[in-house]
Amino acid sequence: MEIDFVVTWVDMNDPKWKADFSKYSKKGIDNTTNEFSEARFRDHGFLKYWFRGIEKFAPWVRKIHFVTSGQKPEWLNVDHPKLSLVNHSDYIPEKFLPVFNSCLIEIYMHKIPDLTEHFVYFNDDFFIINNLSKERFFTNGLPNDIAAFRHNSGIGLWSKTLKNNIKIINERFDKREVMARDHDKWFHPSYGKRARLTRLLKPYGKFITLMTPHNAQPYLKSTFNEVWDYAGDKLTKASENRFRSTQDYTPELFRTWQICRSNFEPYNTYQDTKMFPLVLRSKKAIKAIYDQSYKLICLNDNAHIRNYDKVMEDLEKAFDTILPEKSNFEI
């Protein structure tokens, strides 16, 4: 089984990107508004550790699709045989470009040229910090995932987009049929306490939002084709949103669809991944890197991190301890 990685990245200091952002946003970067916040676009210089982590801990990857608006770091070795530079214009319809909405960039991923059926999607703040096998992401050709419900307040942009996803899921799938068919997958013992809400809501006739581990996610490309065949009109309409919107659909739609189609193997993702909001848990994130406590971590940025420069400096020192050597992805 061949597996590709897809990662998205942006250089907010690129003059063309800045000009386009200002033109279409009418205001430029604005840290008081979620979809225009600097934290959505800035780069800490940690991307090299992303590539180093792959070379050291997941060398089995077939190809890395590096998705940008036509940018690349100066240090990147573009001649690496496993690297494919992907411009948004290579797979997103031109009428929706330029785009500054990660949701739009993600819902078209199946259109990336030469993408394998089995792939793993990374944000550029998802890092591999310990040994990973193919079997961490796929078992018997199916994505490993956790099928468990979570509470969704419906407050805030992200929560509202998750509700958009679930509306489509409930239109397409009958919850009672799905859970009867895949009872052992939905109530797998590895989930532990995370299955509590699923048990509580078992009699309820509709799906609610599933737990959303914020980290590298395995997908089948065929899932994207199925969702587009079913809800292409809605996804095309949402593609008009150049910036994040409450009308968006997110990759969680495709992930949940996979689960409802029984195209997954039960796996408690939380046992070896961790998301660290740096505004609250920067010290724990730094320690996790030094200790290599997880296989995958997310360093979630925020425009209001205290002592930002010091936090970034300490994170870099931690990365340099476990990944000190240049990878072949670096010039």
Sorted by where each begins, the domain ranges of the chain are 3-322
Segments of 177-295 assigned E as strands: 217-220, 265-266, 273-277
pLDDT at 111 over 60: yes
pLDDT at 105 over 80: yes
What pLDDT was estimated at residue 265?
Answer: 98
Coil, strand, or helix at residue 122?
A: strand
pTM for this one? Answer: 0.94
Handedness of CA 101, 110, 266, 132 (dihedral sign): negative
- Which helix (H) or strand (E) segment holds residue 130: the answer is none
Rounded-to-integer distance, Cα 102 and Cα 248, Å: 10
The band of 280, judged by pLDDT with boundaries at 50, 70 and 90, is confident
Encode pLDDT of 199-249 as tens digits: 999 999 999 999 998 899 999 999 999 999 999 999 999 999 999 999 999
Encode pLDDT of 4-13 as tens digits: 999 999 988 8
Mean of per-residue pLDDT scores for the chain: 93
Angle 198-200-202 from CA coordinates, rounded to 5°: 65
Averaged over 132-159, what is the pLDDT? 94
**What contacts 121, CB < 8 A, 6 or more positions away?**
5, 6, 7, 106, 109, 216, 217, 219, 251
CB-based contact 159:152 (threshold 8 Å): yes
DSSP at 149: B
What is the architecture of the domain spanning 3-322?
Alpha-Beta Complex (3.90)
What pLDDT was estimated at residue 38?
Answer: 57
Name 68's bridge partners.
87
What pLDDT was estimated at residue 11?
Answer: 87
Angle 21-26-30 from CA coordinates, rounded to 5°: 75
Task: Work out the number of other CB atoms within 10 angstroms of the CB of residue 194.
Answer: 19
pLDDT at 14 over 90: no
- Which helix (H) or strand (E) segment holds residue 3: the answer is strand 3-8
Encode pLDDT of 18-39 as tens digits: 889 889 987 765 555 655 555 5
What pLDDT was estimated at residue 45?
Answer: 86
The number of CA neighbours under 13 Å toward the Cβ of 321 is 13
Task: Work out the number of other CB atoms within 10 angstroms of the CB of residue 65.
Answer: 23
* Residue predicted with more confidence, 298 or 33: 298
Q: Which tokens in the block code for residue 293?
A: 């406590």
Encode pLDDT of 62-71 as tens digits: 999 999 999 9
Encode pLDDT of 158-192 as tens digits: 999 999 999 999 999 999 999 999 999 999 999 99
